[in-house]
Structure 1
């Protein structure tokens, strides 16, 4: 009974002792916290020194490869088709002067022989008239001047004979031309687009036989958007360009800007330039052919921009980016974005050389916000 009474009094005393010990421990911990160094709550940022550069603008646009020349080939003489080159089919390639097809020549060979004979007769008649004129001149020397006329001296006859020679010569040239036109040859290095003839077919002069496209030179007409037009050199003619096909198999060829079309499109408000590519089908080289109709990109060097700053686009918001001043505080800078290239902005106003450009701004940056600068190893930089 005494033992139970003793336990009844001991338990409250033990609880009070434990509580006092806990309070002492809390007070000791609070004292140590107060004595520790204060926590740095400034946001951490990374910076980069702003450095101006001279930037070469590259302008890129797109267009379609087209032939410089197209020809609707027509027969110049009438006759029956007697043969044609096996390559003279759609897709065939020909060098300049290569035979395409032949028209029956018998009629034109006979016409040539007849023209040659007529010329020979005209020349003989002229010789005869000139001889008679010489005889008349000698006889006239014994007569008085009043009895001698141009007709007596056979001057009209000689002039007529000379005219006949000239007429026969012209007819001979036409006969030679007609005979030559029986063999139709490629007017230039050509690609056959279409053909409409066959052996035994009769054609008339002027009948369209085929459509050819020149493969000596190709052109690409491409637009210049308004945001690029300010960076195109004033005299762009002759500037080297690179033409590259789109798709899995890329083909690049050298080109040259040939001209400006000289107008602004009413619908798009864009101007257009033209580049030329020599030997697009590689008839004279081992390069891969650049086919007509290919959709290509065209790239060439525009103007050089001096004293600009290249800045990632995600650092600029509403034309404002942030820098750290000498007092380690954030300051906004209003900048002028001169040009966008890929993921970068080119800035020509608002930044100064060696400004500390904030690369990792705080989530909610404020003017005058104190920050600490960290390097690439996430250690605080000594400032």
Structure 2
């Protein structure tokens, strides 16, 4: 009987204990909510904005190449007798230095023969002029009908004059051939390739070497369409900075010389030509800039008015955050003209003295009240 009574009371006891625990938990939660402190406003760093004029810097890349490349050939035939010590691949030779010489005895003999032929022709001309003078004096005693050009020896004089001209031309050719036995550098040059050796017989017109002119180098740099609108009105002779990165960074100064005048059909880009004087620093103390180097080229383009130059991390989908006059977060849609390295150039959507948020909250909401930590100086433009 007692067991039966306990069986009926046990559920009631369990329910009472559960209700008591629930009441205790509820009262503790209510006390916790009542004592929870109010949320404090977010603190953000801001900087007042100042617009300024900005010179666009255009950057491109290209390869350093010689302005002039010469495929050197022999102008006379003969055996190679000697060559200059620097006339090797990679050697540098000065303008006028003898690169190599060809056996010249036959050409010297040809000069002597031409000189002799000229002397004979000149003697024959003197003789014909004398005979013509005698005929002219005798013609004064004859009737005019008997005096002809043949009698006055005019054809003979003309023939003798022609022989003198022919002999003179032959002498000049022989002298030129003799001079061409010494092949000289046409300019200060880098020897790219040499194809002859001592004792080798070469024919006239044989290619013997490849030379690069060291006076100037040029760099063809492509300009994308979005950069072309920022090119200066007159970019001829605009100074450009040429940079070659490496273990040792080399910086040289060049000039924009010309536009190639065509748009590449594959890339739709135009190209400018940058000229660098004395690339191998033969007459200066500059660092050499070798042909084939891949370089970066920077130059100043158009000057933009009233520009805000902001770090890229502050511009998200053409939007930045400012703090309005009520100390509330406010998004601004801006117009981004172009990106320059880690900065964005903005010309619309902001005004001077706007308080730009530098530390944007993770989930910013329009109208959120914030506390300000103002930088002493405006954001550097």
Q: TM-score, normalised by structure 1?
A: 0.86
Shift of 1:287: 2.7
Distance 1:322 1:376 in 2: 16
Aligned length: 345
* In structure 2, C-alpha distance between the alignment counterparts of 1:80 and 1:374, rounded to whole Å: 86
**CA shift digits 1:79-136 (9 cap, x unpaired):** 1111111211111111111110000000100111111111111111111111111111
Q: Report the Cα distance in structure 2 between the residues aligned to 1:363 and 1:199, rounded to whole angstroms.
A: 78
Within 5 A, what are the aligned runs for 1:79-228? 79-228=78-227
CA deviation vs aligned residue, 1:228-263 (integer Å, no higher than 9, x gap): 222111321211112121211111111111111112
CA distance, structure 1, for counterparts of residue 338 and residue 350 of structure 2 = 15
- Distance (whole Å) between structure 2 residues aligned to residue 113 and residue 376 of structure 1: 92
Deviations 1:172-214 (A, max 9, x none): 1111110000000001111111111111111100111111111
Work out whether 1:286 is the aligned partner of 2:278.
no
Q: Are residues 163 and 258 of structure 1, via their aligned partners in 2, closer, same or farther at CA, if it must alter by over 3 Å? A: same
Q: What SS does the corresponding residue of 2:321 show, helix, strand or coil?
A: strand
**SS of equivalent residue, structure 1 residue 46:** strand
Distance 1:90 1:313, change over 3 A: same
2:297 and 2:42 mapped to 1: Cα distance? 46
Q: What is residue 19 of structure 2 aligned with on the other side?
A: none
Consecutive unaligned residues in structure 1, runs of 5 or more:
1-29, 378-383
Measured after TM superposition, the shift of residue 278 of structure 1 is: 1.2
Task: Give the distance between the partners of 2:286 and 2:43, measured in 1 at CA.
Answer: 56
Q: Secondary structure at the match of 2:374?
A: coil
| Aligned equivalent of 1:322 | 321
Alignment of 1:235-246 (within 5 A): 235-246=234-245
CA gap 1:224/1:184 in 2 versus in 1, 3 angstroms: same
The residue aligned with 1:248 is 247
Equivalent runs, 1:12-51 vs 2, <5 Å = 39=38, 41-51=40-50
Residue 369, structure 1, aligned to residue 368, structure 2: yes
Aligned residue for 1:24? none
Q: What is the CA distance between 1:40 and its match in structure 2?
A: 6.1
Quote the Cα distance in structure 1 between the aligned partners of 2:214 and 2:375: 57
Distance 1:376 1:347 in 2: 21
Alignment match, 1:231:
230
In the alignment, the residues of structure 2 paired with residue 314 and residue 277 of structure 1 have an alpha-carbon distance, to the nearest angstrom, of 37
- Residue in structure 2 matched with residue 62 of structure 1 by the alignment: 61
Structure 2 runs not aligned, ≥5 long: 1-30, 377-381
User: Residue 20 of structure 2 aligns with which residue?
Assistant: none
Q: Distance in 1 between matches of 2:210 and 2:161?
A: 44
Residues 353-368 of structure 1 correspond to what in structure 2 (within 5 A)? 353-368=352-367
CA distance in 2, matches of 1:376, 1:56: 26
Give SS of 1:179's match. Answer: helix
Q: Is the 8 A contact 2:47 2:375 kept in 1?
A: no
Post-superposition Cα deviations, 1:328-361, rounded to whole Å, max 9, x if no partner, equal 2222211100111122111001111111112222
Q: Deviations for 1:26-46, whole angstroms, at most 9, x for unmatched residues? A: xxxx9xx99xxx846322222
Counterpart secondary structure, 1:374? strand
299-308 vs 283-292, greater mean Cα deviation: 283-292
User: Does the aligned pair in 1 maintain the 2:125–2:160 contact within 8 Å?
Assistant: yes
2 CA distance for matches of 1:376 and 1:302?
A: 32
Matches within 5 A, 1:250-329: 250-329=249-328
Asked whether the 8 Å contact 2:47–2:374 carries over to 1, the reply is no
Q: Equivalent residue for 1:14?
A: none
> 2: CA distance between counterparts of 1:270 and 1:199?
49
2:307 and 2:347 in contact (8 A); partners too: yes
Shift of the alpha carbon at 1:304? Answer: 1.2
| In 1: Cα distance, 2:152 partner to 2:126 partner | 15
